[in-house]
Structure 1
């Protein structure tokens, strides 16, 4: 027996129980109709004239209904006689290459065929100004040379800083449309100043580039669109701030204040910029954001297919698996850390041979006084919290929490011959 197997010998695994967590389920019933209605509002498309070349900024996040949002926006621009083209607006994502960013869009379902227009991907930028502290402000060269710029953004809490404007319209302008150089500039003084930098850079971009409007979405706790708002350029900063309040109110949570071991089946850039949302896990990459549960040990088992090896966020876990480690594309992963200046999320956690070993290692090191009462929570990822698994020791508490319904009976974790968890969908 090797030393790791010997150290983990005898560590018991708790029985797990399926529970459902209920959150606000308000959602837009007809996304296409809602987009068309918003674009028809006065002050949104009024300045678009026939023949205008319009850049449509599309990011790398897994927005709900993203292909539909892009297709309908492009279609409405065409109806007004414009000539739209999509530009990837995702900072350094996709390995900070033009080809990689086009591939990211394709993985999200956005292609030239689905969008109904060309995708013009380039990492070339132009400097459009500087902040008072000397930081340069950049924007995608192709977008800047267009007759107009519009873009799509989901408004949500950021994973590494707090401020009136976090992830959303403002960040999409300052970092998304700024490409790798814009993202690097905005991050260069760290997340301590991020809240003020994204606003200051966006103000310059709004004054010096042909930004016409943004199309914002706010999602509910089930990864569905709860609201769609078309926002004219002049209102982008203020409206983004208001929508941030709504987005935070919509955020799901794990509903337990203390967790000994949190098992996350998969992480990926299509789930969160940090692979798994720290607002859910309570594991933040900087001291400038906080919240979520107190998690003693966190286990990550795998990467999503759509992340294509980008394992940003794995460093926020304590334990991982060989399966995860073997899928890591270090170039893509490290590009995130080098651009954001925060490299903790790109670190490698302690890697164990299998799910079985990684979970037992987390239990062994979680400092629980009684292994038979260990508090374990298992989630698919941080986007899907409607159904989760909790250990038998948490049942009594779960039954006292409004919004939680116990729907299963305690069952032992099942593993295949390789020691990996057998999932219900497998």
Structure 2
């Protein structure tokens, strides 16, 4: 099968590289504008922290903790991540520890209990839940990144509203909404949380295409929904992508929860692989080589690949993966793809139907980091017609089936 494997050439994708150097600055400014008189002496204040790999998240949470503390509040952090971390308190605490969010680093308590309170039902009879410790606090600060979601389209995405409706509700909330339909019921559920739980502020983060903090906004509760929509449009405009279509073979070196809720971002590989329907882009075969350590064995979304390696399969924690898949109503995401013993065999199998002279092949580190990737000679010849791409002259050509990217 080696005759079907092409050499790969490096390309660079140009993005806006501006970012916030000191994440404390916009938080300090935002709290000065909206928190005075809202966060008061002696108030117990819950701050949400999720399971996504947000850059500098520990520093961002620490800055919010400090702003609460300097106003006399008593901050504590809530593990707010739906069913992630295997839907257990220890699992969710471990996820936060992996991002540097610990009681030792923050100097405040962390609550990871799965206990919730039902705050009511939507008009469509969907039960809505809130973490019990957060509900019993004097104030909740929703903190989350705003970005396009792996299922949601249009004005719906990941952000403060999703943190309210899903993350804060732990497994109970995630189960209730996903079972009925996320797209239809997320916003009504989130609105109910904003109305019936002591949510006082939101801290929204937008990252640039290089996953550095590009915008951090503090908002009062009445502005949370509108701010989510505004920031989502901005995040979608700078979303990194692979500017080739069609693609015969796409090799993803690592999938993982720190890159996308589905391991590989459907906004990059094609939303139809997640929700069905007419393909938005043509990628004939997808190969996933490994699972990131930050996923803690959760390989939900692995079923979107066509081929995986034995290395990836052996790292899967099936309890965590199945729990997440059931909660997200994404059973096809945990179907086991064709599994090969090695990287070489996986890539060779994917390339078998194609000829090296014409194959349209791409290899990326993951779906979140697309500033540098590798393409086959056919795609290399198209770069001059794509304004964001340039030939990378700092690296040499590599075999497609190399064990690890340089």
TM-score, length basis structure 2: 0.96
SS in 1 for 2:200: strand
The answer as to whether partners of 1:170 and 1:202 remain within 8 angstroms in 2 is yes
Distance 1:340 1:289, change over 3 A: farther
Q: Provide the C-alpha distance between the structure 1 equivalents of 2:276 and 2:75, rounded to a whole number of angstroms.
A: 41
Q: Kindly state the Cα deviation for residue 206 of structure 1 after the two structures are TM-superposed.
A: 1.1
Secondary structure, counterpart of 1:34 in structure 2: helix
Q: Select 2:161's aligned residue among 153, 156, 170.
A: 170
Q: What's 2:387 paired with?
A: 402
1:3-402 alignment runs, 5 A limit = 9-41=1-33, 43-190=34-181, 194-283=182-271, 284-287=273-276, 291=280, 293-365=281-353, 368=354, 370-402=355-387
Instruction: List per-residue Cα deviations over 1:264-320 (Å, max 9, x = no partner).
Output: 0001111110111111122531137974x4211000000111111111111100000
- Alpha-carbon separation, structure 2, partners of 1:309 and 1:265: 16
Q: 1:178 aligns to what SS in structure 2?
A: helix
Separation in 2 of the partners of 1:26 and 1:249? 15
1:46 positional shift: 2.5
Greater Cα offset, 300-309 or 278-287? 278-287
Q: Is this contact kept in 2: 1:268–1:311, CA < 8 A?
A: yes
Task: Work out the CA distance in 2 between the residues paired with 1:341 and 1:206.
Answer: 25
Q: Return the offset for 1:51.
A: 0.6
Query: Partners of 2:203 and 2:184 in 1: how far apart?
Result: 22
Q: Distance in 1 between matches of 2:153 and 2:278?
A: 6
Deviation at 1:15, TM superposition (A): 0.8
Secondary structure of 1:383's aligned partner = coil
Residue 2 of structure 2 contacts residue 348 of structure 2 at CA under 8 Å; is this kept in 1? Answer: no
Query: Is contact 1:35–1:72 with CA below 8 Å preserved after alignment?
Result: yes
Contact 1:11-1:363 within 8 A present in 2 as well: no
Aligned-partner SS, 1:394? helix
User: Partners of 2:56 and 2:130 in 1: how far apart?
Assistant: 26
Greater alpha carbon shift after TM alignment, 73-82 vs 109-118: 109-118
Gaps (5+ residues) in structure 1? 1-8
After TM superposition, give the deviation of residue 423 of structure 1 in Å.
3.0
Cα RMSD over matched residues? 1.6
| Contact 1:161 1:289 survives alignment (8 Å) | no
1:413 paired with 2:395, answer no
- Larger mean CA deviation between 214-223 and 26-35 belongs to 26-35
2:145–2:205 contact (8 Å) kept in structure 1: yes
Per mean C-alpha deviation after superposition, the further-off stretch among 115-124 and 77-86 is 115-124
* TM value normalised by structure 1: 0.92
Return the offset for 1:188. Answer: 0.8
Question: How many angstroms does 1:75 deviate by?
Answer: 0.5
Distance in 2 between residues matched to 1:13 and 1:100, nearest whole Å: 41
